[in-house]
Chains A and B, each alone.
Chain A
Amino acid sequence: MKLIEGFLVCGVTFVVSQAFAGESKGSTDPVVQLGVEEVRVNVKGLACPFCAYNIEKRVKKLDGVDRKAPFNVSLERGVASFTWKPSIPFGPSVVNEQVKKAGFTPGTIDVTVSGHLSFKRSETHGEQGQIALHLPMTHQNVAISASKRADRVESYALLLRKAKHLQGNSMFAVRIRATVLEEKRSWKLKLKRWEPLFYGARVVIDVETFACERCATGVMRSLMELEGVIHVEADHEKNHAVVWTTEAKPRIELLKKTVVGAGFKVTQVEVLPKATGSQGG
C-alpha cells in the first residue's frame, strides 16, 4: 500500500513539475495563481433589486476584488459572488465590514481557494493531525477543518490521507471549496469539496443508481484504493462518480470493474480532457 502511495506522490509531483515546466517553456496555458479565487458572501436582508447595487458598490471598494471580473448578486439565493485577486491577502472581516456599510447583515462566506496542501502532527490534534493550505502569493497558511455532512466527512478523510502521505512534499496543489470560519485574528476553512489542481485526466462514471449517500461514499473508497487515482467524488443525487487520475489515459476497464465490484451497474464512462490554468479541475 505504501508503495502505491509512493508512486502516487511521485506521479503527482511529476505532473505538477510538468505543468510548471510547461509554463517556463512558454506554454500557452495560463499561469496558475494559487490563492483565493472566488468569494461568495451570503447576505441577509437583501430583498430588492435596487438594494443589490449597494452591495456591489461597497464590496468593490476592496483592493482584493477583481473589478474587471463579473460581480453577481442573486436575490433568489441571497448571495453576492465575485472574483478575488490571489495576490491580495483575503480576510472575512474586511468583506463583512463592507456588507454592513451597505446596510445589510453578513452571513457565512464561501470561498474557492487553491494552494499547496500540507500536514502537521501536533499535540493539539494528536495523531489525526492538522491539514492546512499554503497560499504562496500571500504567504498565508489556512487551517482546514471537517464538516459534519457525511459526504464532506469522506471528502475530508481523502484529503487528510493525501496530506499525510505528502512526506514533506509541499507541491501538491489542490483547489478547495469551503466555508470560511472567522477567528479572532485569523480564519480557517471548513471543507466542502476539493480537487487536485493538476492531474492527467478526469473520468466521469455514471451508474444506474446510488441508492443512498453511503453507497456513493463506498464507491469513493474503493476507487481511491486504485493506483494512479488522486481523488474521487461520488454524488448520489447525480448518480455518478468523478475520478481524477495521474495518467492522461486512465485504465477505464479497471475503473468500471471496481465500480461493478462495489455492487453498482455502470451506464456510461466519459473521459474529460485535462484541465489547465486557473479554471482547471
Chain B
Amino acid sequence: MTQFQNNRSLSMAFLLGAIGSYSVAVGAGLNTDVALSPPEGGTIFRLQWRYSKLSNDPTPMDRDVTLSINPLTIVHGLTADLAVLGTVPFVYREMEPAAGAVMEDADVGDIPLLFKYRFYQNDQLGVTTRWAVLGGVEIPSYDEDFSSESFDPIIGTVWTHQRRDWWVDWDVVYKFNTAGGPTGDDVLRGDTAASIRFLGGESEETGPWALYGIGELNALYITDGSTQMFLSPGIQFITPRWILEAGVQLPVHQDLKSSRLENDITTILSLRTQF
C-alpha cells in the first residue's frame, strides 16, 4: 500500500470517528442528530473542537496520531419542516511515526450538504415526538489527505422524543462512497442518545435555561468489515440563544481493517448559537 493510500485510510479513520460532525448541528446531542430543526428563516451556527488521539497502527510505520477537528456547521430552516445543513471540517493532524520526523497537516475535509425533512410530528404540552429523513451529498474538498475526492450520497433518518426533563433520540445514516478502490468503502452509522435535566429554571430576564447530562452510544460499520462503537458521556448548558456542551468519546469496541488506526479518546467542546 502506498503512502498516499495509507494517508487516505488514516483520513478515513479520522472521518469515521468524526462522522457525526455533519449531523450534530440541529440536534441536542453531542454526536448525533435529532429531529429539531431551526424555525422557518432561522439559522443555527455550531462550532466544535474535537481533539482525538489515534494509535495501534497495524502498519510497520506504527504511527501515533493527534487530530484536532473544528467542524463549523450551519443549519438554515427553509420551512418549519425542511432544513438545509452544511459542515466545513477544519482539520489539523500531527502524525508521529515510530521512526522519522513528526508530520503536520492542516486543511479542510469533505463538506456534507444535507437536507432534512420532518414528516412526522406529534406535539403535546411539554412533549414532542418527531421523525425526519435526511438526504444529501458529501462534496469533496480534494485535499489529498482528508478527502475521498468523490461526491458521496448520504441518506438517513432521525427520530426523537423530547420532554422537559429528558429526551432520547436515535438516528441511522448511510454514506455511499463512490470513489471506488481501496478507500472507497461505504459507511453506516447509528446513534442512540439520551439526556436528563439536572438543573433548570426560567426567569423573565434570561428565559428558560437547563443543565443536562447526556450519554450516547455511537456505532459504525464500514463495508470493508470494520466496526467501531463509542460511549460518549457529556454535559450541556442550554439557554434560548446558546448551547455550551462538553464531553468525551470513549471506544468500547474497535475491529478495524485496511490499516485504520484505533481511536483512543476524543475530547469534545462545542458552542451553538442561533439567529
- A interface with B by C-beta (< 8 Å): 42, 44-58, 70, 72-76, 78, 100-105, 107
Contact = CB atoms under 8 A, between A and B. Distances in A.
Contacts of A103: 36-40, 77, 80-81, 118, 121
Q: Is the interface of A mostly helix, strand, loop or mixed?
A: mixed
B240 A104 contact: no
A147 to B, nearest CB: 20
A131 B110 CA distance: 66
Given A50-B36, A51-B36, A53-B207, 17 more contacts: A45-B124, A46-B128, A47-B128, A47-B162, A47-B167, A49-B238, A50-B272, A54-B39, A56-B240, A58-B39, A72-B207, A73-B240, A74-B208, A75-B202, A103-B77, A103-B81, A104-B123
B28 A48 contact: yes
A49 B239 contact: yes
A45 B28 contact: no
B243 interface: yes
Contacts of A74: 202, 208
Contacts of A75: 126, 164, 200, 202, 208
B40 A102 contact: yes
Contacts of B208: 49, 52, 73-76
A73 B39 contact: no
B124 A44 contact: yes
A47 B40 contact: no
Contact of A47 (B41, B127, B239, B241): B127
A64 to B, nearest CB: 19
A47 B162 CA distance: 6
Contact of B127 (A45, A55, A107): A45
B210 interface: yes
A57 B275 CA distance: 8
B244 to A, nearest CB: 11
Interface in B69-117: 77, 79-81
A49 B127 contact: no
B209 interface: yes
Contacts of B259: none
Contacts of B200: 49, 75
Contact of A54 (B42, B124, B164): B42
B36 A53 contact: no
B274 interface: yes
Interface string B48-81: 0000000000000000000000000000010111
A52 B207 contact: yes
A37 B164 CA distance: 29
B1 interface: no
B39 A48 contact: no
Residue from B28, B202, B204, B241 whose CB has the most chain A CB atoms within 10 Å:
B202
Q: Top 4 A-B pairs ranked by shortest CB distance? A: A45-B123, A45-B128, A105-B123, A44-B123
Which residue, of B121, B163, B167, has the highest number of chain A Cβ atoms within 10 A?
A: B121
B163 A102 contact: no
17 contacts: A45-B123, A45-B124, A45-B128, A48-B36, A49-B240, A50-B243, A52-B207, A53-B207, A53-B274, A72-B204, A75-B200, A76-B208, A101-B80, A102-B40, A102-B80, A103-B118, A104-B123
Contacts of A55: 39
B158 to A, nearest CB: 14
